[in-house]
């Protein structure tokens, strides 16, 4: 009862009736993690409860067929500190997650481009805890515990898809220690961002502690800075409007950690880098219907990265059914070129092969109201590479069917 009274007083993360709704899809692993709830409420503190689940089944191929169920229950708290305590221009964000169940990639498919974006080891975990301060009219500084994957290297069109590689790129998730500062483990960091030319140009840069496994897996160990840092930056240029005709992003990261040499077993190399480019475009629009497309490409040194070259692309159709204008249908493909002759000393030992792993996904996200969506999807994994068995050859293919449920209130 006390919880219910408190939630009623604080408000929820669902926009008020009559407000314009953003029909663009949101990735379950990062939805609501950038403080957007404050834009839809006049309250000083907004609480959002979330439920996301994936029921997936490997119906053919992979390591073994079968099904897996994974759920994540979370609470997100956003606070306008100017209203709450008089701290002008500041906001705060907190999120905690309870992850229960088994991911299909780990238990059945055995692939590098993880089938589900919410797949993670079961745990009750603090995810984000940060404070953001506005600097002038067009810049902001964020300090605390957060992830790069909610702001950097992301295509808004690609976030529709269930496979994790269409969020934080699969190349970064494989190459960086612990997958880098991305879901499910956020790390201490500082980010500065600024917009120019009427908001059409955005610059953002951040520095993070570099090795998520160096932190307690539950996220409550406090801030530690023993690990070598990771720096990441990008510049985005976009057309005007709420649904811009095009967006182009150029970015890259530099890690100061040590990485296993992929060509000389037993040798370690200092430092690592990667660069990426993203194109996102509105290809067609007619009333409430629209078609969007994206393409993304990453590259990093082959002598210290398991995935030196990665690319993905896709297309989405909003309002495919006239009576359901918010539903989104999409198809996307991601390809990771797995380095050959991977030594077992690699941070992520993956079967040696030059054949790329491909993830092809067809998804339909059905919105039933402001809070609930269901997303049936089919994925074809070609040349899945088993990260736990470096001496075996890559499996030829796997066919996965799934259903994602997302609930926010």
Least confident span in 29-33, 175-179, 316-320: 29-33
Q: Report, in this order, helix, strand and coil percent for the chain, each rounded to 5.
A: 10, 50, 40
Kindly report whether the peptide bond that precedes residue 258 is cis, defined as omega within 30 degrees of 0: no
Cα-to-chain-centroid distance, residue 62: 24
Check residue 340 and give its pLDDT. Answer: 61
Q: Which residue has the tokens 């932190």?
A: 215
Q: Contact at 8 Å (CB) between 175 and 305? A: yes
pLDDT greater than 60 at residue 9:
no
Beta strands in 86-200 (DSSP E): 90-101, 123-135, 139-146, 187-196
Band (pLDDT 50/70/90 cuts) for residue 37 is: confident
Q: What is the pLDDT of residue 313?
A: 98
33 vs 80, residue with greater confidence: 80
Cα dihedral 76, 166, 183, 364, rounded to 10, equals: 40
The pLDDT score that the predictor gives to residue 226 is 67
- The predicted-structure confidence for 256-276, as pLDDT tens digits, reads as follows 988 988 888 888 999 999 999
Prediction pTM value: 0.87
Mean pLDDT, rounded, of the chain: 85
Query: For residue 263, how many C-alpha atoms fall within 13 Å in the half-sphere facing its CB?
Result: 5
Of 8-12, 301-305, 315-319, give the range with the top mean pLDDT: 315-319
- pLDDT on residue 317: 97
As a whole number of angstroms, the distance between CA 154 and CA 144 comes to 21
Distance between CA atoms of residues 74 and 354, nearest Å: 40
Six token digits for residue 34:
């950038």
Q: In this model, does residue 395 exceed pLDDT 70?
A: no
**More confident position, 113 or 344:** 113
- What is the pLDDT confidence band of residue 241, given thresholds at 50, 70 and 90? confident
**Does residue 302 surpass a pLDDT of 60?**
yes
**Is the sign of the CA dihedral 179, 180, 183, 184 positive or negative?**
positive
- Residue 59 predicted with pLDDT over 80: yes
> Please, which contacts does 265-273 make with residues 24 or more away whose CB atoms are closer than 8 Å?
265/343, 265/344, 265/345, 266/343, 266/345, 269/303, 269/304, 272/175, 272/176, 272/300, 272/301, 272/304, 272/305, 273/300, 273/301
The DSSP bridge partners found for residue 253 are 232, 274
Rounded CA gap, 159 and 162, in Å?
Answer: 8
Among candidates 394, 306, 398, which has minimal Cα distance to 359?
398
Give the pLDDT mean for 392-401: 78
Q: How far is 46 from 16, CA to CA, in rounded Å? A: 12
CA distances (Å), origin 66, targets 30, 56, 324, 409: 28, 9, 33, 32
- Tell me, what's the pLDDT at 354? 60
pLDDT digits (tens, 9 = 90+) for 216-232: 566 665 556 667 899 99
Regarding predicted confidence, which is higher, 185 or 220?
185
Q: Write the DSSP string, 58-116.
A: EEEESSS-EEEEEEEEEEEEEEEHHHHH--TTEEEEEEEEEEEE--HIIIII--SS-S-
Exposed / middle / buried, residue 308 (Cβ in 10 Å: 0-12, 13-18, 19+): buried
d(CA 91, CA 19): 22
- Dist CA 336 CA 169 (whole Å): 10
Domain ranges of the chain: 8-13+24-408
- Four-CA torsion 336, 337, 341, 347, nearest 10 degrees: -40
Which pLDDT score is estimated for 220? 62
Give the residue from 173, 185, 177 showing the smallest Cα distance to 218: 185
Per CATH, domain 8-13+24-408 is 2.40.160.180: yes
pLDDT tens figures, 108-151: 999 999 999 999 989 898 999 999 999 999 999 999 999 999 99
Q: Which are the contacts of 344, defined by CB distance < 8 A and separation ≥ 6? A: 265, 390
């Amino acid at each position: 009862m006390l919880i219910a009274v408190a939630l009623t007083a604080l408000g929820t993360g669902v926009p008020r009736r009559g407000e314009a709704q953003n029909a663009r899809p949101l990735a379950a692993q990062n939805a609501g993690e950038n403080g957007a709830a404050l834009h839809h409420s006049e309250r000083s503190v907004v609480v959002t409860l979330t439920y996301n689940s994936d029921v997936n089944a490997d119906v053919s191929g992979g390591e073994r067929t079968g099904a897996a169920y994974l759920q994540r229950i979370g609470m997100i708290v956003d606070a306008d500190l100017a209203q709450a305590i008089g701290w002008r221009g500041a906001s705060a964000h907190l999120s905690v997650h309870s992850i229960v169940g088994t991911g299909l990639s780990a238990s059945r498919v055995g692939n590098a481009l993880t089938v589900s974006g919410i797949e993670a080891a079961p745990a009750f975990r603090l995810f984000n805890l940060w404070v953001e301060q506005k600097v002038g009219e067009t810049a902001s500084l964020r300090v605390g515990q957060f992830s790069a994957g909610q702001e950097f290297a992301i295509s808004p069109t690609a976030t529709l898809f269930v496979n994790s590689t269409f969020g934080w790129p699969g190349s970064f998730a494989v190459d960086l220690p612990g997958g880098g500062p991305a879901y499910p483990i956020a790390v201490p960091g500082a980010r500065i961002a600024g917009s120019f030319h009427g908001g059409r140009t955005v610059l953002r840069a951040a520095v993070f502690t570099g090795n998520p496994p160096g932190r307690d897996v539950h996220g409550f160990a406090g801030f530690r800075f023993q690990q070598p840092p990771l720096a990441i930056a990008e510049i985005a240029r976009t057309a005007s409007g709420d649904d811009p005709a095009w967006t182009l992003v150029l970015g890259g990261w530099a890690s100061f950690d040590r990485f296993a040499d992929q060509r000389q077993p037993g040798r370690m190399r200092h430092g690592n880098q990667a660069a990426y480019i993203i194109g996102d475009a509105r290809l067609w629009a007619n009333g409430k219907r629209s078609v969007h497309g994206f393409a993304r490409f990453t590259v990093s040194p082959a002598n210290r990265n398991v995935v030196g070259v990665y690319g993905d692309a896709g297309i989405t159709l909003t309002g495919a059914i006239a009576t359901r204008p918010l539903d989104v249908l999409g198809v996307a493909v991601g390809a990771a070129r797995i380095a050959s002759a991977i030594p077992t000393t690699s941070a992520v030992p993956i079967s040696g092969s030059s054949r790329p792993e491909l993830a092809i996904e067809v998804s339909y996200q059905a919105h039933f109201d402001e809070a609930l969506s269901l997303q049936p999807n089919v994925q074809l994994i070609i040349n899945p590479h088993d990260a736990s068995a470096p001496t075996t050859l890559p499996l030829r293919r796997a066919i996965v069917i799934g259903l994602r449920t997302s609930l926010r209130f």
